[in-house]
Structure 1
């Protein structure tokens, strides 16, 4: 398969998954914002979400304050946000359109209809009327797209590259969703005396379709440690980090044909660590530090996949000096969160 074709398929799947996970992250924060809490704690949730998505600077350039409606609008349809739901759905459609001969008419119709319907819903004021309904619609359309892939496509290289994009993006976003909530917990003592309760973790679990799974696995009270264990280490649940990276490991093996041995080795190493990990050890070393390291390693894997099989990503810009004298570079952690949309750029 041509690397350009594989690139379009990989990014089509990533953008579709990213739109879904952005909707999940917004849904979790929106549900939490409806609970009784201080204004400071509610604002902390939105700030944490923008921070972990690496979009704080883009948001601040066009907005003052941290109102929930402004953040939802920015993450859902703002043209200046390359990872907004609208931009992701448009990019998924355009990447599919560029390689229609490598997919089928059912997949194209699914993504094209999603794009057209999204514009109609937003023009009809769904975000102002009922954000939850829009988030659920985005998740449903993503599920439909994956269902079309699984139910109609031949399992060849095109199919495997789509699946690879899906699970790389899912691992990245599940880690971000979990980190958002735990970052809020770490800062809560300085901003609010509100106690943590059952409803907060229920909203987080529901945002990743994990509430029923949690009940089946633990059948007991919801605790932060068990939520983290489920989202990170439970390999039998397809949205966990362990399950996502296990899929990435297998998919790299399917498309490598003996090449990219170092990429395959790093994927296998990360998968083995998750498979054999213990949540007590992860929490002892600090969950935020663990997730930051995990995101960096997933980022490295994604960059290596692009280098080995796809159209390589542009190198990061040289370091610049901030006013405080610290050296900073423009990261590509997304590739996962700040990649621009469109056929020419993926």
Structure 2
């Protein structure tokens, strides 16, 4: 497989997951405002954490002076100038799919192309203006469709592995950002005056964990919620579950190898998997949820960088002796030495 093909498949799945998470976050925040009633009059306390989650506070402030729900939603959903908007994430996913059109099924292509046409169309803009919940749900359904089609039509080879790498890494990163939005909220629950039960409920809904959590716990205990979304390996959107699948997928691509010759992505993911498996929620809270999440995001970024260096920049980083036979990359993945510099530069810009 060409390194540019692997990179495009990886980023295609990441961008779809990014758009899905943002749509779910906006939808759950809208529901939270309705549940909050009179407290929802202070919009900033609800929408500022959303901007912090996506890292768009400065970009939004350059366009709008005040934080208003309608402006934030439009900025994050359909603003062409915002590179993290749902619109641009879907555009990027579709463009990456276009470059690997011969590697993915027709059904995957039709799903992504149809979603891109919808968000760019007058129908999509009209749906967002008049009933934005319907717009978010349309994005969510298409994302679920993408995941189901990919699962049903993709052979369990390299294409599938890079699809899962992108999905799992993006999902873990987005979940860590969602958890961080609640790091400043009191762990006390009602009738404590500082309790915020609606915010914790919204956190569960924003990652589709409301019913799954209730099946295990009858009360909204913040510690249990953090433990479930961070450390529970049975919930498919938890950070621990994503890291487990990430590590297993990297092992299939790279091979395990000895400790001294283990590929960097496998090593980084394995260490994080082990740490999460042997960490308790009490230890996380003793460190501080925000501080722990900061370190976790750095480690997830390190995994992403090592994936790029191993599978995309492998040819550039491997010394090639004159008259040497073609070098085989780790595992089943083959990096091609004859890729031109322009293509590599474009792939770096995508990252």
Structure 2: which 5+ residue stretches go unaligned? 187-191, 315-345
Give the Cα–Cα distance (whole angstroms) in 2 for the partners of residues 45 and 122 of structure 1: 28
Partner of 1:22: 22
SS at match of 1:182: coil
Shift in alpha-carbon separation, 1:42–1:227, aligned structure 2, 3 A: farther
**Could you give the per-residue CA deviations for residues 206-257 of structure 1, whole angstroms, max 9, x where no partner exists?**
1111011111112x21111111111001100100000001111011111114
Partner of residue 310, structure 1:
312
Give the match for residue 93 of structure 2: 92
- Cα distance between partner residues in 2 of 1:63 and 1:31: 23
Q: CA, structure 1 residues 226+158, in 2 after alignment: closer, same or farther (shift >3 Å)?
A: same
TM score, norm. by length of structure 2: 0.83
User: Where do 1:179-198 residues align within 5 Å?
Assistant: 179-183=180-184, 185=185, 195-198=194-197
2:146 maps to 1:145: yes
Offset at residue 263 of structure 1 (A):
2.1
Q: How does 1:69-84 map to 2 (within 5 A)?
A: 69-84=70-85
Rounded Cα–Cα distance in structure 1 between residues aligned with 2:123 and 2:287 = 44
Q: Deviations over 1:71-130 (max 9, x none)?
A: 000000111111100000011011001111111211111111111122236545222222
* Superposition deviation, residue 158 in structure 1: 0.9
SS in 2 for 1:78: coil
Asked if the contact 2:27–2:133 (Cα under 8 Å) also holds between the matched residues in 1, the reply is: yes
Report SS of the residue matched to 2:62.
Answer: helix
Corresponding residue for residue 299 of structure 1? 301
Q: Residues 280, 41 of structure 1: CA spacing in aligned structure 2 closer, same or farther, 3 A cutoff?
A: farther
Compared with structure 1, are the counterparts of its residues 123 and 241 closer, same or farther at alpha carbon in structure 2 (3 Å cutoff)? Answer: closer
1:216 aligns with 2:215: yes
Q: How does 1:1-346 map to 2 (within 5 A)?
A: 1-34=1-34, 35-38=36-39, 42-120=43-121, 123-183=124-184, 185=185, 195-218=194-217, 220-257=218-255, 261-310=263-312, 345-346=349-350
TM-score normalized by structure 1? Answer: 0.84
Q: Tell me: CA distance 1:163–1:24, structure 2 relative to 1, closer, same or farther (3 Å).
A: same
Matched residue count = 311
- 2:242 & 2:229 partners in 1: Cα distance? 10
Measured against aligned partners, the alpha-carbon deviations of 1:34-86 in whole angstroms (never above 9, x if no partner) come to 21254685312211221232211111111110000000000001111111000
1:281-300 Cα deviation digits (max 9, x unpaired): 11121111111111111011
Give the C-alpha shift of residue 262 in structure 1: 2.5
- Larger Rg belongs to: 2
Pair 260,116 (structure 1): closer, same or farther in 2 beyond 3 Å: farther
Unaligned runs of 5+ in 1: 187-192, 313-341
d(CA) in 2 for partners of 1:114 and 1:245?
28
Whether contact under 8 Å (2:268, 2:302) holds in the other structure is no
SS of match in other structure, 1:102? coil
Measured in 2, the distance between the counterparts of 1:280 and 1:40 equals 35
Greater RCO between the two (CA within 8 Å, min separation 6)?
A: 1
Deviations 1:4-59 (A, max 9, x none): 00000000000000000111221232222221254685312211221232211111
DSSP-derived class of the 1:57 partner = helix
- Conserved 8 A contact 1:174-1:241: yes
Change (3 A) 1:176 1:121: farther
- 1:134: Cα distance to partner? 1.6
CA RMSD of aligned residues (A): 2.3
Moved more, 116-125 or 8-17: 116-125
